[in-house]
Structure 1
């Protein structure tokens, strides 16, 4: 399977001539990421994880494109693109389904707390092919699952470096790559990633930084 990193939280997975995109948001190269994709997984409703106008255009212009998302996101997309409603699916935590030929399991349920006065929205983490785990905006660890490739939210208004490190230690995946890095400059990114690299290695995780547009085999 090939994994391609896009700006911030978006990644694209490809195998057997099919493509699955996760979190094509407003910070990402959404049009490029969606090119030729058969399915999209969306973790939650925030704009940096779902570019609604771009998704509506994709649903209207790409026959067969399927979208899987929490109910709030799914309902909004059905409202904006009613002609594609049958291809927009609601995902609940603890479910299993197939998308674009990939097997998917869902975890979590809620976005991490930003502030007590900011409402908490639904958030779904996705494990794809028992291989790649994208937690969205949360540090939910899949229970009873050995994750092979972990996507780490490296920086956000809702996290701090110690929590990022603890998440990597808790999952203990052999390999990890950063996501949710669009709010850090180069110096800040290097600093946080250095902590993750050093501490993760003590628990068997090899962390690798991926540049925008870079592709790796997973």
Structure 2
């Protein structure tokens, strides 16, 4: 399976002629990531994880595209579609809960978590779904939820966020202990900050069997 990272939280997965995109948000090259996609997964409602106009445009332009998201996100998209876009688009927007197992455009998807990490007591907590694709790639969205009973092969690590600190990032990598790890949620870091965080993750993660590799936007790896 080919994994391509886009800026911030968006990744594109390709296998056997099928394409699945996770979190095409406003910080990412979302239109490019969604080209020719068969499915899109949204972890939560924040704009850096879903660029709503771009996603709706993709759904309307591509009749093969299906979308899965937490209920609130799915409902918002359904309302935005409205009657003018017709039932075809609406019928391809699906809500998903934690603890589900789905076949999504030929990809096996399992869902975990349910809650966004706490930013501040006065900022409401929203729903967040972590997605495990083909028992391989795990995208946690905005959380450090560890999939239970699963040996993750490829971990996508939120390296920087308003809701985290470096020690929590490192502990997440240690807890999951995936053989391979790559960054997501890193658009707010400059090169100095990225080097600092990734240095800790690389060094300490290696002690627990995780090989961390940094990826630039549009860079691809086989996983």
TM-score normalised by structure 1 residue count: 0.99
Aligned pair partner of 1:194 in 177, 199, 219: 199
Matched with 2:8 is 8
Matched with 1:29 is 29
Determine the C-alpha separation between the residues in 2 that align with 1:65 and 1:80: 17
Kept after mapping to 2: 8 A contact 1:149/1:173: yes
Matched with 2:154 is 149
What is the number of equivalent residue pairs in this alignment?
218
Kept after mapping to 2: 8 A contact 1:60/1:81: no
Query: What is the DSSP-based 3-state SS (H/G/I as helix, E as strand, rest coil) of the residue aligned with 1:122?
Result: coil
Pairing 1:89–2:67 present: no
Pairing 1:44–2:44 present: yes
Determine the C-alpha separation between the residues in 1 that align with 2:126 and 2:53: 20
Cα distance, 1:104 vs structure 2:
0.1
Which residues of structure 2 form unaligned runs of 5+?
none
Could you report, residue by residue, the CA deviation over 1:18-50 in whole angstroms, capped at 9, with x for unpaired residues? Answer: 100000000000000000000000000000000
Cα distance, 1:191 vs structure 2:
0.3
Aligned pair partner of 2:117 in 79, 91, 112: 112
Cα distance, 1:81 vs structure 2:
1.5
Cα distance, 1:85 vs structure 2:
1.1
Pairing 1:181–2:186 present: yes
Determine the C-alpha separation between the residues in 1 that align with 2:222 and 2:201: 21
Matched with 2:218 is 213
Determine the C-alpha separation between the residues in 2 that align with 1:195 and 1:64: 42
Determine the C-alpha separation between the residues in 2 that align with 1:33 and 1:81: 21
Which residues of structure 1 form unaligned runs of 5+?
none
